Structure 1
C-alpha cells in the first residue's frame, strides 16, 4: 500500500478514507452550509405545488430539478418555471434530452448507467439544441449525465457560446464515487456534483480535501438509486460536506419519467410529500445539531 499512498500524496489526494471526519471549512458564498433541493418537479403545476407546500410547512426550497427533459416541456412551461424561480428565489434545474433510454437501442434500457447518456453524435447534437433552447428562454441551470456533453458544454461556456453563469449539475446518474472522479468532473465543467447517496461518512469527508464545488446528495434516495433514508445523519453530512445541497427524493414513489399531463397528479402528490420529508429531515438537523453543539448556518 505504501507505493499507492505515496502516489496519491504526490498528487495531493487523500491517502485513505477520513475516519476522523474533519469539519469542512467551506461554505456557500453567503456563508451558509446547506441548501434544499426537491427533485422530479416535472412542470409548472408541480412547481406551484412545491412552493405552496413549502410555504405551509415553513421549508425553504432552494432548487427544484426535473428529469423528463427540456425537450418535453413547451416554451410556455419553461418560461413559467423560470419566472416562478425568479420570483421565489428558487434555482430551476432541467434535465437534457433526448438520451439513450428514449432511443430505439436496447442498451439504454438494460444498463441504467448508459440510459441517461447520449448515443452517437446526432443525439449529442440534439442535446446541445435542448440547452440552447432552454438558455434562450432564461434557464440558467441544467442537469447532465454524459461526460462528453459535460465537456462540450464547458467549452461552449468558455467560448461565449453559452452563458458564463450557466450552472451545470452533474446528475446522480453519473455520480462521482470518489474525490478523484469528482475533481475530474469539476475540471470538465461541473459546477455542482451529485455524489452517491450510499457513501459512508468517512468516504464523503474525503471530497472536501479535493474539491470546493457544491456537493449534492440524496438524503432520501428514490428506489432506482437505492432507497436510502439518512435523516439522522444530516447534521454530520452538513458538518463534513458543506457546502451541500440536501436532496429529498421519495422511496416507494411511482416512476413518472417521461412525465406529462397524464401523470401530473402523481407528480404533484409526490412532490408535495418530498417537501413534507424535507420538513422532517430539517427538524432532525435542527434538533441534533443543537444537541451536538454544531455550528450549522442557513442563509
Structure 2
C-alpha cells in the first residue's frame, strides 16, 4: 500500500547559513572524562558531531575542567555548550517536586539570575562560546550583555528543552529574546514543527530519543521527516531507560560513561537509518556553529560598556538593570 505523497507546503524553507538542513548534537557530556569517551566512540563509529552539550552547569566544573573540554572540542571543530545555573531542580524551586512541576525550573530571584550571569562570564572567559539557558529573563540578560560587548559577539545561546516552547508565537518570542537555537519538546507533532517554521527561522534542537524525564520518546524513524519540516535542525541523541544525571558527580561515573557510549551509538543508528532512506544529504559541514541572521527585540538603554570577560571585575554587573531596562537593533551572530 503506497504512502501518501509528501506535501511540498509542509517542508521548511529555511536552512543554516552554510546551506545545510541538519546538524548533530550529543548531550549530557558531564566533564572531561565523559567528553573523552564520547569523542573516542564517535571516532570509532564515524559519527559526525557538530555540538556537544552539558547539563549540570558551569558551576559544577572547575576552571581546569572547562579549559580541557573547550580545548578538546576546539581541536575537532566541535561546539561546546555548557549550562548556566543554578536552576530550580536543585535550588529552592520545590515546585519541581509537585505533581504538576510548577515553575520550578526557572532562575528564582536576583541571586539565581546573577548566578547564571556569573556562569556565563566565567565560561566565556575560559573559551566557551555556547551557553544553555533555561529561563527567559536569563536569556534576555545574556543577550543584552552580548549586545553591550561584555560577552563575546560570537557567543550563542541555546534554549533548553526544560522550557522549550510549544507553539509558533512562543518560539518566535525566544528568538527575539536572543536565542540562537531552541530545544522544542520531543512530543510535538510534525504539523507543529511546520507551524513553527512558518513563524521563525531560528535553528531548532530536538531529541530524536528523549531522556525519560523529558518523556522518553524515540522518534528515529521520523528523523527524515523531522528534518524536512524542522530544518534547520539539530538532531539530538539522548537516551531513554537511563538514570538522570544532573547534577553529575563521581558517584554516577560508571553509568554515565556507559550512557555516553550508547548516546553515540544511537546517533550512528539514526544516521544509518537516514542513509537507508536516502535522506542523509543536507548535513552542515563539520565545524559549522553559527545560526545566521535572526530577528531580535530592539535593545535600548544599554549601560556603558563594562569590563571584558577577562577583567578582574567582570562579575560586577548591574544584572537587575539589564533585566528590567526597556527593550536599537542588534546584529545576530553570522557564519
Question: What TM-score do the two structures reach when normalised by structure 2?
Answer: 0.80
Structure 2 match to 1:261: 250
Which residue of 24, 41, 44 corresponds with 2:29?
41
Which region of structure 1 is more displaced relative to structure 2, 172-181 or 21-30?
Answer: 21-30
For residues 125-148 of structure 1, what are the alpha-carbon distances to aligned partners after superposition, in whole Å with 9 as ceiling and x for unaligned? 111111111111111101101111
Q: Structure 2: how far apart are the matches of 1:52 and 1:271?
A: 11
Structure 1 match to 2:154: 165
Q: Structure 1: how far apart are the matches of 2:165 and 2:7?
A: 20
Q: 1:113 to 1:73 in 2, by over 3 A?
A: farther
Q: 1:39 to 1:297 in 2, by over 3 A?
A: closer
Structure 2 match to 1:226: 215
Structure 2 match to 1:109: 97
- SS of the residue corresponding to residue 265 of structure 1 reads helix
- SS of the residue corresponding to residue 114 of structure 1 reads coil
5 Å-filtered alignment, 1:190-201, equals 190-201=179-190
Structure 2 match to 1:156: 145
5 Å-filtered alignment, 1:57-72, equals 57-72=45-60
Q: 1:171 to 1:19 in 2, by over 3 A?
A: farther
Q: Structure 1: how far apart are the matches of 2:222 and 2:93?
A: 40
Structure 1 match to 2:178: 189
Q: 1:114 to 1:29 in 2, by over 3 A?
A: same
Structure 2 match to 1:270: 259
Which residue of 224, 242, 246 corresponds with 2:231?
242
Q: How many pairs align?
A: 279
Q: For the Cα contact (< 8 Å) 1:143–1:171, is it kept in 2? A: yes
- SS of the residue corresponding to residue 247 of structure 1 reads strand
- SS of the residue corresponding to residue 277 of structure 2 reads helix
Structure 2 match to 1:100: 88
5 Å-filtered alignment, 1:16-35, equals 22-35=10-23
- SS of the residue corresponding to residue 278 of structure 2 reads helix
Q: Which has the higher helix share?
A: 1
Q: Structure 2: how far apart are the matches of 1:43 and 1:227?
A: 24
State the shift of 1:104 in Å.
Answer: 3.8
- SS of the residue corresponding to residue 207 of structure 1 reads helix
Q: Structure 1: how far apart are the matches of 2:137 and 2:284?
A: 35
Structure 2 match to 1:147: 136
Q: 1:287 to 1:208 in 2, by over 3 A?
A: same
Q: 1:298 to 1:129 in 2, by over 3 A?
A: closer
Q: 1:105 to 1:231 in 2, by over 3 A?
A: closer
State the shift of 1:257 in Å.
Answer: 1.0
Question: What TM-score do the two structures reach when normalised by structure 1?
Answer: 0.89
Gaps of 5+ in 1: 1-17
Gaps of 5+ in 2: 1-5, 286-335
Q: Structure 1: how far apart are the matches of 2:126 and 2:78?
A: 16
Q: Structure 2: how far apart are the matches of 1:96 and 1:124?
A: 10
Q: CA RMSD in A?
A: 1.7
Q: For the Cα contact (< 8 Å) 1:239–1:296, is it kept in 2? A: no
For residues 169-204 of structure 1, what are the alpha-carbon distances to aligned partners after superposition, in whole Å with 9 as ceiling and x for unaligned? 000001110111010000000110111101111111
State the shift of 1:70 in Å.
Answer: 0.3
